[in-house]
Chains A and B, each alone.
Chain A
Amino acid sequence: MKTTISTLAVLLFVAGTTVTAQQSDYQVVQDFRADYNELVERVDNAVSSEELSEINADIDALEADNSGHSSLIDGYIYPNSFEGKISDLRSRYAAAENNVQVIESLNEKVAELEDEMAELRDRLSALDEDSQALANRLERAAQNERRLSNLVRQYRENLENRDAFVSDLLEDLLKRYQTMDAQTQEEIAAAAEALEDNPLDLLRTILAEYINLAERETGLDSEDYLRMRAQHGYFSEVWDNVGERMASTYAAEEPVQAKQEIDDHLDAWLASVDNKLWNALSTSFNQSGVQLPSFTSATAFNNALNTYVDEMTEVSLGQNSEEDYEMFSNFSEFWNSTVKAEWGEFLVAGNVLSQGDIAAIDVKVGSWGQAAEPVSNLMFILFLVSLAVIIGLIVLLVTKKE
């Protein structure tokens, strides 16, 4: 019984093999061509290493499955050949491998940039939210002076943190784009096309918030606005260095327009800061007893300082009164301990006064000091006394002779 079943199974297997062994050469060639064309399409459209490794295995399989029919295929696809087709597939595969490497590297770059942007946005948003919350609290606490002072301090710290964060970002941009070679720029530009949010957008957001901060009424003083101007100066300097390259990288289609947009934001920011700065400076000088002529620009401020010192020197030379000396001492104290010591760095960085301007005023203040220093009357009194003594002696001698 067992033998019969085994024999039957063998017969069925042989019969089945016979049926399946029947083939059409035409079908073999058509299948090869279809498989080849499909592989060409897959190779040309491959975008990942995983796809490529599957394709590589399929190319091997196509070669192995059809090598027995190579002469048949050669005859049918003449002047091409089976070897030629497989070799063509392998060449396409090698080219696709290079492309995929580039694509994967670009994808990594896109992911990196996106992560970076997201992190920067998060930090910026957190700082801006804090800043907004503090500004709101400042408005509400306007009546309570002690509380107000604390809040202004906190608000100021928040602005300083924001400035520090933006400065770090700018430094990073400077490092990254100032010496960037053309190839890297091209790679990043290609990756940037896939970015939803690129560094130019981030810069625009930062600038918009800076404008907003400068325009907010929050009890800030001259030093705060000078710090803003200094930050603007640093921002502009970095943008001058990397702006063109960043615009070409992240707005390859309209780089000029993109750069101009940031330039416009920078101008608006400066205008907002200046709108508050000149008044704040004028108030600070007034509060210290220095009545400067009015000014609404950096040059006018420099002129105002020079005019004030020149005029006061003239007055001191003419009067040499105690009052003049007091005026000088007052100005000198404010100039040295506040303007130079506390604001000096911001004045220079914010392009309000240059080191040369400050040095020139220093010289004039020195001259004013000499002119204002009151001259002592002791010598004159001694001279009069001596004169009186001499006259007295002469009178005595003449009287004795007579």
Chain B
Amino acid sequence: MAKSKLLTLSMCVAFLFSAAACSSLEISNVDYSQPVESVLTVENNEVHDKRYAIKFNISPVLDEEGISSVDEIRLIRSNRGYYFLTASGFNHVYVLEVTSGGLDEKNIIRIPGDALQQPAFNQRDGFIELVDLATGDTHNLDHNGRR
């Protein structure tokens, strides 16, 4: 009887140790916010942000927007790590989530009114501010949409 209790206790201890060993490292409260947006020139539908070291093809976004080409795009990363992308002539802001080797659509935010003329992103406390410098319209955005 005592032998069986001892065995049970040993197994419990071994289980606790192995459970502790299997848990992965986690860093929380990471602030990904990019202080100032990147204005990236488009070449062959590709953009390359050398400052923040990211390079990707915007063809899927252009297809989605129904535009064949743009000269430059505006890109900013929120504190939660989502990329916000738009360009002059767009009606939307694309919220993209980093995945392994890719950027997935997190949200596509429809901006009311006519297409954006001179869009600019500003990093604000807890949200991204979208300004159309041509009209003066301002929209506060987060990855869920307009606030």
Contact = CB atoms under 8 A, between A and B. Distances in A.
A24 B131 CA distance: 7
A399 interface: no
Interface stretch (A15-23, A203-211, A250-258, A389-397): A15-23
A293 interface: no
Interface residues of B, number: 16
Contacts of B131: 22-24
A26 B120 contact: yes
B122 to A, nearest CB: 5
Contact of A25 (B36, B135, B136, B138): B36
Nearest to A75: B35
A50 B121 CA distance: 41
Contacts of B36: 25-26, 29, 72, 75-76
Interface string B32-66: 00011111000000000000000000000000000
B105 to A, nearest CB: 24
Contacts of A18: 136
Given A72-B35, A75-B35, A24 B133 contact: yes
B123 interface: yes
Nearest to A74: B35
Nearest to A17: B136
A23 B138 CA distance: 10
A68 to B, nearest CB: 14
A14 to B, nearest CB: 12
A29 B38 CA distance: 11
Contacts of B138: 22
B133 A22 contact: yes
Contacts, number: 40
Contacts of A23: 120, 122, 131, 133
A27 interface: yes
A249 B120 CA distance: 61
Interface in A4-18: 18
Chain A interface SS verdict (over half): helix
B136 A26 contact: no
A23 B122 CA distance: 8
Contacts of A22: 131-133, 136, 138
Nearest to A27: B120
Nearest to B33: A75
A25 B39 contact: no
A23 B135 CA distance: 11
Contact of B35 (A20, A27, A76): A76
Contacts of B121: 26
B39 to A, nearest CB: 6
B140 to A, nearest CB: 13
Nearest to B120: A24
B37 to A, nearest CB: 5
Nearest to B51: A76
A25 B133 contact: no
Interface string B104-133: 000000000000000011110000000111
Contacts of B133: 22-24, 27
Interface centre among A20, A27, A29 (most CB of B within 10 A): A27
A22 B137 CA distance: 8
Interface string B72-91: 00100000000000000000
Interface string A19-39: 110111111010000000000
7 contacts: A19-B136, A25-B36, A26-B37, A26-B74, A29-B36, A72-B35, A75-B36
Given A20-B136, A26-B36, A76-B35, 4 more contacts: A19-B135, A24-B133, A26-B37, A27-B120
Interface of A: 18-20, 22-27, 29, 72, 75-76
Counting from the closest, the 10 A-B pairs by CB-CB distance are: A75-B35, A24-B120, A19-B136, A76-B36, A25-B122, A22-B136, A22-B131, A25-B36, A26-B37, A26-B36
